[in-house]
Amino acid sequence: MTDVSFVDGLVRFIFVAVLITAAFLLSTRSLPSLLRTYQLQSLLLAMLAVVFSFVEGSAVLLWIAILTVVSKVLVIPYFIGEIQERISIRRDLEFHYLAPASSILVSIALIIGVYLSLGNILSSAYAKVEPIFFIGAVIGISLMLMGMLVIFSRTKAITKVLGFLSMENGVLLFGICVTELPFIIEVMIMIDLIILILLTTILTVGIDSTIEAYNEKVRQYSLWTVREEDAP
C-alpha cells in the first residue's frame, strides 16, 4: 500500500537505530538513561513489527507490536525503575574486561564477523532465502552478542538485566523478520516476563544485601510469602 522504497528505508533506519541503542547500552553510565535507551529499543522493535504487519497484512505482527509495547516499553521499564528507586543506585560506573570504547569497537567487529559468517552460511541457499531474513539474522544475532557484552562488561545487576533484555530484543527482531513465526514469539515473550521477574527479584535485592535484609525485601515485595502467620 505504501511506497516500497520508503518502507525499505524505514526498515533500514530502524535496524541502524536498534544497533545504535545497543551501543548506547554498552557505554551509558547513568541508570535512568540506560532504562530509557532500552525503552527506545523496544519501541523501535514495535515499530518494525507494525511496518511489517502493514507490508504483509499480517494481524499477528500487529499483536506482537502491541504486546511488545505493553510489556517492554511500559511494564518492565516501570518495574525496573521501581526497583532502581528502592535500591537507590543511580549510576553504573565500573566496567569489567572491556572499556566502553573498546566494547563498541568489539561490537563493530562482531557485526562484521556475523555478517560475513552468516553470508557464508546462507550463500548456498541464497536464492531461496529472503534478504530480510539474512539482515534480520545478522542484526538479531549481533544484538544478542552485544547484549552479552553488556552482561559481562557491566558490573551492576540492573545493567546486566538490561543487557539480557536487549539480547531478548535481538531474538525478537530476528523473529519478526521471519514472518510466519508468530505464535511461538508471543508465548516466548510471556515466558521472558516470568524469567525477568524472577531474575530481577533475586538479582537486585539479593546480591548486595545480607540474608536478613533480603528476606525483609522479599517480604516487602510479597513475592514468595504466602501466609505470614505460618512463620515460627
3-state helix, strand, coil in the chain (%, to 5): 80, 0, 20
**Quick check: 171 binds other proteins (CB under 8 A)?**
yes
- Beta-ladder partners of 154: 95
Out of 66, 99, 105, 198, the only residue in the binding site for other proteins (CB under 8 A) is 198
What would the DSSP string read from start to end of 23-87? HHHHH--BHHHHHHHHHHHHHHHHHHHHHHHHHHT-HHHHHHHHHHIIIIIIIHHHHHHHHHHHH
Distance, in Å, from the CA atom of 190 to the CA atom of 54, rounded to the nearest integer, reads: 24
**Quick check: 10 binds other proteins (CB under 8 A)?**
no
Burial 85-96 (b: 16+ CB within 10 A, else e): eeeebeebeebe
The CB-of-85 to other proteins minimum distance in angstroms stands at 21
**Quick check: 231 binds other proteins (CB under 8 A)?**
yes
Backbone dihedral angles phi then psi of residue 95, each to the nearest 5 degrees: -130, 140
Distance, in Å, from the CA atom of 47 to the CA atom of 22, rounded to the nearest integer, reads: 16
The smaller minimum CB distance to other proteins, of residues 17 and 122, is found at 122
The CB-of-218 to other proteins minimum distance in angstroms stands at 8
**Quick check: 180 binds other proteins (CB under 8 A)?**
yes
The smaller minimum CB distance to other proteins, of residues 5 and 227, is found at 227
Site string for other proteins, 127-166 (x = CB under 8 A): -xx---x---x--xx--xx--xx-xxx-x----x---x--
Q: Which residues bind other proteins (CB under 8 A)?
A: 96-97, 110, 113-114, 116-125, 128-129, 133, 137, 140-141, 144-145, 148-149, 151-153, 155, 160, 164, 167-168, 170-171, 174-175, 178, 180-181, 183-184, 187-188, 191, 194-195, 198-199, 202-203, 206-207, 210-211, 214-215, 218, 224-228, 230-232
